[in-house]
Amino acid sequence: MTLQVESRSATISEDGLPVEELIVNVGPSHPSTHGVGRVVVHLDGDVVVKADMIVGYLHRGIEKMAENRTYLQIVPLTDRLDYVGSMYANWAYCRTVERLAGIRVPERAEYLRVITCELQRIASHMMGIGSAAGDTGATTMFMYAFDVRDRVIEFFEELCGARLTYNYVRPGGVSFDTPEGWTDRVLRYTAAVRADLDEMDKLFFGNSIARGRMKGIGVLSAEDAIAWGASGPTARGSGVVWDLRKHDPYSVYPRMEFDVIVGDNGDAYDRNRVRLLECYESARIIEQAIAQMSPGPVKADGLARLIAPPPGDAYDHIESARGSLGVYLVADGSPRPYRMKVRSPAFCNLALLPVLAVGHTFADLIVVLGSLDPVFGEVDR
Amino acid sequence: MNSFLYGMLVGLVAGLVIALAALVGVWAERKVSARIQLRYGPQESGWFGLLQTLADTIKLVLKEDITPTQADVPIFRMAPLLVFVPCAAALSVIPFATGWAPFNIASSTLFFLAVPALSVIGVLVAGWSSRNTYASIGGIRGATQMISYELPRTISVLALCVLAGSVSAVGVHDAFRWWWLPVNAIGFLVYFIASIAELNRGPFDLPEAESELVAGYFADYSGIRWAIFMMVEYGGMVAASLFGTAVFFGGGLGVRGPLGAVIYAAIAASIAFAMLWVKWTYPRMRPDQLMNLAWKVLTPMALVQLMLAGIFAAVIS
């Protein structure tokens, strides 16, 4: 795809006047592109006839950089992929390394991974819903969502010292055990967060203007969702029952009881509301995990400082807040991977924007983009 | 007094009122939005951050006045004035006490409704002369929106003129009877919603929708010219609140003297507060939904109000 704005097509209207498309360049520096996305929008009046998504403004070559680092040094790099949900990339990468090197993870570490990742899901979905709401002008909803998110970030800060890039999940376990009283505070949070979620549901999803803005906008059919490789809330909003926690169970998820939330219509409203409802399920999972967790080690015993897996390749994926996040690693027997490839759900979901936005107005384009919840750190890698 | 001098004086006072409205309005907006959004708002400069807006104004005045090279320079520079002057003119016909308005002209309700509508030209040329896609879209959106909402707003006030038997704002203000309140409930709702839309404020802030159009029609303005657009927004809010109080509530509910003035100010402040409240609670509408609301909901409501007022006026007389 070229970075040049193509020539606009001119047609002669019914009354004999020449009509040109209006080309609006949205981004890479624009309030609603969720980072540095760029969309070149061709407008006929106020209706989108073509939307070209141009990615690459946040490309840092993380997959290439990984080839020059040891397996442990790559974990902080994965933090920078999806910086709204760093725990997921940590975990997906560590699972692949563990599979390559045959490392067994202690049970407590698995529980901590589940707890942190479900907390991360709440934080990430709050960011998603909040910025989607902010795009429609509901800045109050944005602030409410960030209040809920910020409390999760504080738990992570207590746990590992970082608020955004955690480097918490490591090959063979997690970096730290919980601080004193942490699980009790998390339980108090999960008990309280439901009321906040109810409030947000009423404030935003129950508001007639918000419903009018999102209902019937960017409708994605279940078949299209599967054909385009969509995953996560984007696919589930269209009624595709696909959640790796259920359908390719990993870690201790088989012991958890939770529902897979799906939408009916596949519009922007359903995609956003699936995110909200998933936060309730995450709270349920966290409560169960804390109840089932028993004391024990959080790091695998006898793990070499310099992990050098035998030659081979491995792929593993987890359900991130944006969908199926996979990491593929090729090992050549050295302490550095030969190749790393990230299967980014944000990238696959974002590919739907040019399809979903066509036929809607310019204002709807922003709503559709927000409902796909892209994080450009992961899109561009 | 020489009428020319008097006009100059009223113009000056109206300009100052707009500046003051912006000073207090921006502060109130920050504080109210902060309370709604679990924040504190400004609190470091002055008591409760009261001087924050003053500091911002000084900063804006000192900023470079940038004109884009592509812009149509004379029109680009003139546009803020085209928005400011109608707003100041509108303030000069609002009745502030029984029998008194700065300018008591015979058709002042129509003057109040028609003259601010001229700021459509300012909004349109501000967007157009910037030669910026976002600004142009914002200007066009602003023009369509302001023209559409002019109709229900005018009809809702016209109902009062029918009840009062006068198109003078002072006449409507003085003719207030308590039973007007229930009779004009629909009309007041229409006036309130249409006024918000006229002022391009949330949930109807499409012309300046920051998440779509960055800043809309004034995207390319900076410094004091940008500040004038902001001032007009708050000046217009104060004008709409005061005028709404004057005609729908007879100023201070028909009470005379200082108590009436207090009631007048309280009602006007409540209307202005409600405008802030609505803005910080609701998301923004889409252009086509906005048009539907104006033509399919508010205009019929205003017509019903006009009919009601006609029936009551006929029955009473």
> Across the interface, do A31 and B37 touch by the CB < 8 Å criterion?
no
> For chain A, what is the mean pLDDT?
87
**In the predicted structure, residue A3 carries a pLDDT above the cut 80:** no
Average pLDDT value for residue range A256-264:
89
> 């490591």: which residue's tokens?
A170
Return the pLDDT at A186: 92
Q: Which range (A96-105, A171-180, A299-308, A349-358) has the least confidence?
A: A299-308
pLDDT of residue B312: 84
Minimum-distance CB partner of A209 among B134, B203, B209: B203
Report domain extents, chain B.
3-316
Q: What share of chain B is helix, strand, coil (3-state, %, to 5)?
A: 75, 0, 25
Mutation for testing the A interface, residue in B131, B212, B285 having most A CBs under 10 Å: B212
- Chain A residue nearest residue B215, CA to CA: A31
What is the average per-residue pLDDT within A237-256?
88
Q: How much is the pLDDT for A6?
A: 54
Looking at residue A86, its amino acid is S
Instruction: Please judge whether B283 and A31 are an interchain contact, meaning their C-beta atoms are less than 8 angstroms apart.
Output: no
Position B173 scores a pLDDT of 81
Facing A207 at nearest CB: one of B37, B133, B282: B282
Pick from B36, B134, B209: which is nearest to A137 by CB? B209
| Across A10-37, average pLDDT | 78
B36 contacts A366? CB cut-off 8 A: no
Q: What is the pLDDT of residue B10?
A: 78
Q: Per the CB < 8 Å rule, is B39 touching A143? A: yes
pLDDT < 70 positions in chain B: 1, 209-211
Distance in Å, alpha carbon of B317 to nearest chain A alpha carbon: 42
**Residue A7: its pLDDT value, please?**
58
In chain A, what residues touch B40 (CB-CB under 8 Å)? none
Q: Cβ contacts (< 8 Å) between B210 and chain A: which residues?
A: 31
Report which of A151, A89, A85, A150 is spatially closest to residue A118, judged by C-alpha positions: A85
> What confidence tier does A10 reach under pLDDT thresholds 50, 70, 90?
low
pLDDT at A2 over 50: no
Residues of chain B contacting residue A144, judged by C-beta atoms under 8 Å apart: 37-38
Backbone angles phi, psi at A53, to 5 degrees: -90, 125
Provide the CB-side half-sphere exposure for B302 (13 A, CA): 23
pLDDT surpassing 80 at residue A4: no
pLDDT at A101: 87
Verify whether the Cβ–Cβ distance B287 to A46 is below 8 Å. Answer: yes
Characterize the bridge pairing of strands A38-44 and A22-26.
antiparallel
Q: Which of B29, B144, B276, B282 best probes binding to A when mutated, by most A CB atoms within 10 angstroms?
A: B282
Per-residue pLDDT, B1 = 61
CB contact under 8 A, A212 and B286: yes
DSSP symbol at B219: T
- Among candidates A350, A355, A371, A357, which has minimal Cα distance to A57? A350
Amino acid at the residue B37: Q
Cβ–Cβ below 8 Å for B212 and A362: yes
- Measure the CA–CA gap between B10 and B2, rounded to whole angstroms: 12
Q: Answer yes or no: do B133 and A140 touch at CB < 8 A.
A: no
Average pLDDT over residues A123-128: 92
Predicted pLDDT of residue A309: 87
The answer to whether the CB of B59 falls within 8 A of the CB of A165 is no
In this complex, is the C-beta atom of A147 within 8 Å of any C-beta atom belonging to chain B? yes
pLDDT the model gives residue B161? 86
Chain B residues contacting A via beta carbons under 8 Å: 33, 36-39, 133-134, 137, 202-203, 205-206, 209-212, 214, 280-289
The one-character DSSP state at B100 is: B
- pLDDT score, position B21: 80
Radius of gyration of chain B from Cα atoms?
Answer: 20
Contact A72, A170 (CB under 8 A): yes
Check if the beta carbon of residue A364 is closer than 8 Å to that of residue A217: yes
Q: Count CB neighbours of B4 within 10 A.
A: 8
Pairwise CA distance, residues B120 & B112, whole Å? 14
pLDDT in tens, A149-166: 999 999 999 988 888 888
| C-alpha distance across the termini of chain A, in Å | 18
Q: What is the pLDDT of residue B257?
A: 76
Decide: B162 and B314 in contact? Cβ < 8 Å: no
Give the SS3 label for residue B97.
strand
Q: Tell me which CATH code domain A62-380 carries.
A: 1.10.645.10
Please check whether residue A220 is in contact with residue A230, taking contact to mean a CB–CB distance below 8 angstroms. yes
- For the segment A64-72, the average pLDDT, to the nearest whole number, is 90
Cβ distance of A143 and B37 shorter than 8 Å: yes
Q: How many residues does chain A have?
A: 381
The pLDDT assigned to A1 comes to 41
Q: Look up tokens 């690459």; give the residue.
A: A56
Measuring CA to CA, which residue among A318, A259, A267 is closest to residue A95?
Answer: A318
Instruction: Select the more confidently predicted residue: A318 or A1.
Output: A318
Distance of CA A329 to the CA centre of its chain: 21
Residue A320 phi, psi (nearest 5): -90, 180
Contacts of B283 in chain A (CB under 8 A): 133, 136-138, 141, 204, 207, 209-210, 213
| Residue-level pLDDT at A188 | 92
Share of chain B above pLDDT 90, in %: 3
Q: Are A343 and A95 in contact (CB under 8 A)?
A: no
Question: Is residue A328 pLDDT above 90, yes or no?
Answer: yes
The 3-state secondary structure of chain A reads CCCCCCCCCEEECCCCCEEECEEEEECCCCCCCCCCCEEEEEEECCEEEEEEEECCCCCCCHHHHHHHCCCCCHHHHHHCCCCCCHHHHHHHHHHHHHHHHCCCCCHHHHHHHHHHHHHHHHHHHHHHHHHHHHHCCCHHHHHHHHHHHHHHHHHHHHHHCCCCCCCCEECCEECCCCCCCHHHHHHHHHHHHHHHHHHHHHHHHCCHHHHHHHCCCCCCCHHHHHHCCCCCHHHHCCCCCCCHHHHCCCCCHHHCCCCCCCCCCCCHHHHHHHHHHHHHHHHHHHHHHHHHCCCCCCECCCCCCCCCCCCEEEEEEEEECCEEEEEEEEECCCCCEEEEEEECHHHHHHCCHHHHHCCCEHHHHHHHHHHHCCCHHHHHC
Q: Note whether A363 contacts B281, CB cutoff 8 Å.
A: no
**Dist. CA B271–CA B263, nearest whole Å:** 12
Q: State the number of CA atoms in the 13 A half-sphere of B147 facing the CB.
A: 11
In chain A, domain spans? 62-380
- 8 Å CB contact of A24 and B133: yes
